Chain A
Amino acid sequence: MIGVEGLSLAIHGTPILRKVSFGIAPGEILGLVGESGSGKSMTALALMGLLPPGAVPEGVAALDGENLLAATEARLCALRGNEIGMIFQEPMTALNPVRTIGDQVAETLRVHGAAGKAEARRIARETLDRVGLSKIGMDRYPHELSGGQRQRVCIAAAVALHPRLLIADEPTTALDVTTQAQILDLLKGLVAEQGMALMLITHDLAVVSGMADRVAVMRAGEVVERGETNAVLRRPSHAYTAKLIEASGHQPDRDALAERAAVLSAEAVVRTYPGARQGLTRGPEVRAVDGVSLTLHRGESLGLVGESGCGKSTLTRALLGLEPVQAGRITLNGGPVGPDMPTDRRAAIQVVFQDPFGSFNPRWRVARLVAEPFHLFGARPADWREQVAGMLEAVGLSRSDMEKFPHEFSGGQRQRIAIARALITRPDVLVLDEAVSALDVSIRAQILDLLADLQGRFGLSYLFISHDLSVVRSVTDRVMVMQAGKIVEEGETERVFTAPAHAYTRSLIAAAPRLELISA
């Protein structure tokens, strides 16, 4: 049993956590929910005694009566891995790339002196079997495994010694929906089987609703609401919880599409890559996009969903005319699209990316960043500063932001700058490549509203690429499902979601966590 009472934390005098309290019983799952910067991860690190230098915790975090905050480093080393296990968001960086997975799972056992070398390997094998990796050899390296398999290895290392508390910090955020569903199932099974307490940290209310027995909602270092999951989600007592729930299922107001004129279309597009080098020759070529046809109508929002590696990004780059295609044809406003298309056609299709931090040259000011696409017109128009200011105001920023650098903005504001940059040439088509995936739910709702508003004002067509089915469902008219380079299903969004025809679509929809709210 873990009990946290009045946990406060300050780093170099700045308060991070304020009087956080919660408890988790053996065999119970607690969902710790909140947006970025709410202090979820800091709470977990405080329990593990892994706080950054300069952090001063106060209060009590007791594991079966022992206060972890007062424990010595030596005692914490004995507890970590043994009594408390932890898994992280990014399974690639959480594993050592030069050591085999068997060694890494066995290491936990060896460090704690729980087993000799041979015994540790035997237990490691058993644990790997238990997390569903029975067909994977102990001598494999992390890069040989998929993201989901890697996360299973991390889980195996964390639970090998049967810890009493397992902390999972956004364990499925980096994974595809079908993999996410499997990992969540695995965690649930392990909790029931071993009777451990699981602290599940996530930003996704839908994940919590399907997993957690109880939930604690954090904001700005405080637990604003906690209780039994169903009760909290159905009848939130705190305004912030209610706002989070509203934002998660947010449906922006959109005008119905007016025209049926195609603005962007692709016919049987094929994009291949040369195979990997094998000595002096090359292996068979890779077909990343395999005969894809699509039509985007004026004023329409078309969704493109698929899991990582399905060819979405490759297709995007081909549609933007950045890379040549090996077969098929792409047309935009009636003209062909390709690396050497004329600049006025290139100006008609622009893009917004997922990562609000990698989207800007950190050394440029906002005015120059937003004005960059003017390069397509040769020289910047004389009134370019006026146009930039107008566009910044159109996306909800102010003209005084022009002289700032990108690091002065939050993730949501940066995404607004990215939208302003994409719209400055007045394109017809805007490609939104996971444009809201990295944002917190409340920020995401605002950006979706902004996009809906801009679509009406500028007569835009959106190609909305995402792995997040709920977002795609709420903002698109039609949707295409992509698997292994092919479009396996296409149709009206509501039809595809309510009556999916293809088995892969069905499995995607079944795997996606849903926030079921029955207002009683």
Chain B
Amino acid sequence: MRRLPLSLIVGAVLSSIFLIAAGLSLLWTPHDVTALDISARFQPPSPEYLLGTDQFGRDILSMLMVGARTSIAVALVAVAIGMALGVPLGLAAAARRGQLLDEIVGRGNDIVFAFPFLVTAILISAVFGPSATNAIIAFGIFNVPVFARVTRSAALPIWTLDYILAARTAGKGQVRISLEHILPNILNVLIVQASIQFSLGIPVEAALSFVGLGAQPPLPSWGRMLADAQTMIYTNPRLALLPGLAIVTMVLGLNLMGDGLRDVLDPRLRRLRA
């Protein structure tokens, strides 16, 4: 076994801290995140409140843990939506390259790409009301063309290979060839792209919540913690610093992991390094 790149190890460690914290928050948090205790507001870090409390006396560590869960859930489901729709579209476009379906998928991608994301997210919130679910849907829609394009471009060269022709002489249709021959051979590219889209999803969720279009109170979210702390940034900088730090560390970890994964999985890069 070859040595794994350092970026993959560091990234995986950083990301898994947040993943474990988010998973743990489903079962247990140090304090109830919805319990307000005005008498305990603006507490500095102490054995009782490891990272202190906010202006309503809520435990910040607990809020960060649940916030991680919100961010990860939004980013993960959005990536899943993007893959579930984008990969089949890309496979179909590659199978019917140069034909009408390919054109429709290609131009459809262009149209979605042409919309500014945040404006569209605001539109969706304005029509359906702000919520974490709508943030997921908005970002999910914008993931679809990304995966459709990556899938199509990775699948095209494989369609020209002889084993595809051999599969066709074995009477296999386009759907079967796409699933049996194309998909397994582009999976590495898709995994790398998924990790990149996932790491993009974290700040997107934070940004939507920051402007009030994402997770709604009382559900804690990193973006809204930042927004709430804005007015107190001079008196209580800790309230803004902690969620900000969480966002930066999580995104850094995911990006490093994505980079490392690409180094390990992308055959073109592997050849360049060899």
Instruction: State whether A421 and B171 are in contact (beta carbons under 8 Å apart), knowing that A361-B181, A362-B185 are contacts in the complex.
Output: no
A55 to B163, CA, bound (A): 35
Does B126 interact with chain A (Cβ within 8 Å)?
A: no
Residues of B within 8 A of A355 (CB): 162
Which residues of A sit under 8 angstroms from B166, Cβ to Cβ? 351, 353, 359, 372, 418, 421
Is B207 among interface residues, defined by CB-CB distance under 8 A? no
The answer to whether A376 has its CB under 8 Å from any CB of chain B is yes
CB interface residues, B 162-190, toward A, < 8 Å: 162-163, 165-172, 176, 180-181, 184-185
Query: Cα distance A353–B170 when bound, in Å?
Result: 14
Is A367's beta carbon under 8 Å from chain B?
Answer: no
Q: B238 → chain A, closest Cβ, in Å?
A: 51
Query: Given A361-B185, A362-B185: A351 and B165 within 8 A (CB)?
Result: yes
Tell me whether A353 and B169 are in contact (CB under 8 A).
Answer: no
Residue B161 lies at the interface, judged by CB distance under 8 Å to chain A: yes
A363-B184, A363-B185 known; A358+B171 contact, CB < 8 A: no
With A361-B181, A361-B185 already in contact, the answer to whether A376 and B163 are too (CB < 8 A) is: no
Q: With A322-B168, A322-B169, A346-B171 as given contacts, are A360 and B185 in contact (CB-CB < 8 Å)?
A: no
Within 8 A of B (CB), among A347-401: 347, 349-351, 353-355, 358-363, 372-376
* B contacts with A, residue count (CB < 8 A): 16
**Interface residue A343 (Cβ < 8 Å from any Cβ of B):** yes
A30 at the interface (CB under 8 A from B): no
> A361-B181, A362-B185, A363-B184 are contacts. A343–B165 as well, Cβ < 8 Å?
no
Most chain B beta carbons < 10 A, residue from A360, A361, A363: A361
Contact with B along A314-337 (1 / 0, CB 8 A): 000100101000000000000000
Please report the total number of A residues contacting B with Cβ < 8 Å.
25
Contact assessment for A376 and B181 in the assembled complex, using a CB-CB cutoff below 8 Å:
no
Give the docked Cα–Cα distance between A360 and B180 (Å): 12
Q: Which residue of A lies closest to B182 (CB)?
A: A361
| A353 CA to B168 CA, complexed, in Å | 13
Q: Are B171 and A350 in contact (CB under 8 A)?
A: no
CA gap between A167 and B143 in the complex, in Å: 51
Contact B170 A375, beta carbon cutoff 8 Å:
yes
CA distance A360 to B158 in the complex (A): 11
Residues of B within 8 A of A372 (CB): 166-167, 170, 172
The answer on a CB contact under 8 Å between B165 and A376 is: no
Residues in A whose Cβ lies below 8 Å from that of B161: 358-359
Question: What residue of chain B has the Cβ atom nearest to residue A339's Cβ?
Answer: B168
A-B complex: 10 closest residue pairs judged by Cβ atoms: A353-B162, A373-B170, A359-B162, A376-B171, A358-B161, A358-B162, A343-B171, A375-B170, A372-B170, A361-B163
Question: B residues near A, CB below 8 A?
Answer: 161-163, 165-172, 176, 180-181, 184-185
- In the complex, 16 of the A-B residue pairs with CB atoms within 8 angstroms, ordered by the A residue number, are A322-B165, A322-B168, A351-B165, A355-B162, A359-B161, A359-B163, A360-B163, A361-B163, A361-B184, A363-B184, A374-B170, A375-B171, A375-B172, A375-B176, A376-B171, A418-B166
17 A-B pairs besides A353-B165, A355-B162 with CB distance below 8 A are A317-B165, A322-B165, A343-B171, A346-B169, A346-B171, A351-B165, A353-B162, A354-B162, A359-B166, A361-B185, A372-B170, A373-B169, A374-B170, A375-B170, A375-B171, A375-B172, A375-B176
